[in-house]
Amino acid sequence: MLYKCKTGIAWRDLPERYGPWKTVYNRFWRWARNGTLTMLVSKVRVIAEAIDELDREVAVDSSIVRAHQHAAGGRRSRPHTGGERVLVRADRAR
């Protein structure tokens, strides 16, 4: 499970040394549903904080950020500056 989470590979691409991918997948989702994963992560976090080994790293993978198909190319307004409100097309706002 950790290998899959760390590398981001598909379940079917798990190395054979971890056993059948379907078994690992079923265990992962069973543990996720019944709270076992949450409990394990919280216990590991407590131990890591106690020995000052917790690295806080944030990563954003833009390949998973999606917008609705109608979100692009719409009209938007500039911030109100006290004058008349002007609507500008998104491609001309830059």
> Tell me, what's the pLDDT at 23?
93
pLDDT of the residue at 77: 61
Which structural domain, as residue segments, surrounds residue 10?
1-94
Residue 93 pLDDT: 46
Per-residue pLDDT tens digits for 12-41: 999 999 999 999 999 999 999 999 988 988
pTM (2 d.p.): 0.49
Burial class (CB in 10 A: 0-12, 13-18, 19+), 14: buried
Tally of domains within the chain: 1
pLDDT, one tens digit per residue, over 44-85 is 888 888 887 766 665 555 565 566 666 666 666 665 555 555
Q: Give, for 87, the enclosing helix (H) or strand (E).
A: strand 87-89
